[in-house]
Structure formats: structure tokens, C-alpha cells
Amino acid sequence: MNELPGSNLEVLLDAETIAGRVRELAAQISADYRGRPLRLVGILKGAWVFLADLARHLDLEVTVDFLSIASYGNNSYSSGAVRITKDLDQSIKGLDVLIVEDILDTGQTFEYLRGVLEAHKPKSLKLVTLLDKPSRRVRPVRADYVGFTIPDVFVAGYGLDYAQQYRHLPDVRIWRAT
Ligand code: PRP
């Protein structure tokens, strides 16, 4: 029998640990936005798994939209050069908006996205990221909500990829070049 993809990779965050932290984040966000409708904007592709789990634990009036972006190149780490490949479907003007990301790394993507989305005049704009790698930051940005702060290792699974693989894994694993 063939081994499952990624079964050779070391688990950094198992599914149970992630699920527990996602519930905590959802409780905190629900308390902070209590009584206010919230628009989640998921950044594709990496955020789709996290957004699906987070949204289902929010005790709020929630709507969801997606923005699809692509970094130029196919490297392990983002180059900072970003292009939008799918824009928002609905206006965010006057809304409380929470950007949902899988990982905040150098900060270049978020800095770009923040500029693009603030131009649409939301009432508020915040960021929740499942993973934060502050040691990699080159831009002065921070997330409002962080699931896990992780060291500078390349991770895949739970939405994150290596060369488009491993996004479907239920946990976050460390990918190392062999
Ligand atoms: C990841 C992640 C962020 C970005 C963060 O996306 O989803 O958008 O990198 O990196 P930065 O802070 O260094 O800019 P990626 O380019 O891997 O695309 P994907 O979401 O489609 O996997």
C-alpha cells in the first residue's frame, strides 16, 4: 500500500490542537464584534480550511467573501510581488471586515492587501491569521488575532501548500528539503 502524501513530514500542530485554538479565536472574535455583522474576507488559496472552521464557530451575523491572490514564482517563501487573480464579489464599504489568512510571514502580502482593501472604505479592517512567523517580518505589520506563533520553518497542511500539495492535510506539518 502507498503511504499517504505528507506522512513522512513531522507534525508541528496536530488537528486537535488546531481545533481547540480555532474555537478560542472564534470566542474572542465573537465577543469583540458582539452585536455587529462581520464580513470575513478569506485570502485564497491558503485560508480556505481555516476560514471554514473559524466561521462555523462564530456566534455572529457573518457573511463571507474571498479574494484570490498569487505570488509571482513558485518558491517556498513568498517574494512579496503579489497580484489579484479574483477580486471581491461584494462591496465592503462601511462594513466591519476581518481578513482571514493562513500565515503572516514577511508581511508583504498583508501590507499590500491592507492598502487595497482600505481604499474600499470599510468601517473597520482587522486581520486574523492562523500562523504567525514574526522572525521573518520585513514589513511593520501585525495581526489582530493570531492562532499560533511559529519558528522559521516551512509548513504545509491545513490549507498551506508546498508547490500546491498537502493543502488537504488535517494538521500543520514541517516540510524540509531532502
Ligand atoms: C501565503 C499566505 C499569505 C502570504 C503571506 O500565500 O496565504 O497570503 O503567503 O506571506 P508574506 O507575509 O511573506 O507576504 P501564498 O503566496 O503561499 O499563496 P497561497 O495562499 O495560494 O498558498
Residue 135's φ and ψ, nearest 5 degrees, are -65, -15
Residue 130 grid cell: 492562523
What does the H/E/C string look like for 137-178? CCCCCCCCEEEEECCCCCEEECCECECCECCCCCCEEECCCC
Helix (H, G, I), strand (E, B) or coil at 97: strand
Per-residue pLDDT tens over the stretch 156-174: 999 999 999 999 999 999 9
171 lines ligand 1 (CB under 6 A): no
pLDDT of 24-44, one tens digit each? 999 999 999 999 999 999 999
Active site residues: 105
132 lines ligand 1 (CB under 6 A): no
Locate the ligand 1 atom nearest the alpha carbon of residue 109 and give its number. 14
CA 85 / ligand 1 centre spacing (Å): 13
Residue that is written with C-alpha cell 500539495 in the block: 165
pLDDT of res. 83 = 86
* Ligand 1 pocket, residue 104 CB under 6 Å: yes
Q: State residue 5's pLDDT score.
A: 73
Nearest CA to ligand 1 atom 6: 46
Quick one: DSSP state of residue 80?
A: S
Q: What is the 3-state secondary structure (H, E, C) of 49-76?
A: HHHHHHHCCCCCCEEEEEEEEEECCCCC
Residues of the chain short of pLDDT 70, as ranges, are 1-4, 72-80
